[in-house]
Amino acid sequence: MTLFLTSVQAIKVRSALEVGSQTLRVTVTDRCGASGQMDVIITVEPLVYTVNIDIKHDISI
């Protein structure tokens, strides 16, 4: 899977681990080879069919 974000370069997800009922801890690598982890918090509003993703990233260079 590849994520495209406006605030960071495109990154590749290497692994994802569920750490809470709505939280994934994701290990990623960017195009420059830097890698790190980010917690992805996913909330779903079923009546509106909206998915909000809050990403907190810590990528080491």
Give the model confidence (pLDDT) of 6-50 as tens digits.
555 577 888 888 888 888 888 888 878 888 888 888 877 666 555
Q: How many CB atoms lie within 10 A of CB 35?
A: 15
Q: What are the structural domain ranges in the chain?
A: 2-60
Q: Where are the alpha helices (DSSP H) in the chain?
A: none
Dihedral of alpha carbons 22, 41, 33, 1, sign: positive
What's the CA gap between 1 and 43, in Å, rounded? 19
- 14: which 2 tokens? 């290497």
Please indicate, yes or no, whether the overall pTM of this predicted structure exceeds 0.75: no
pLDDT at 53: 67
- 27 in Cβ contact with 46 (< 8 Å): no
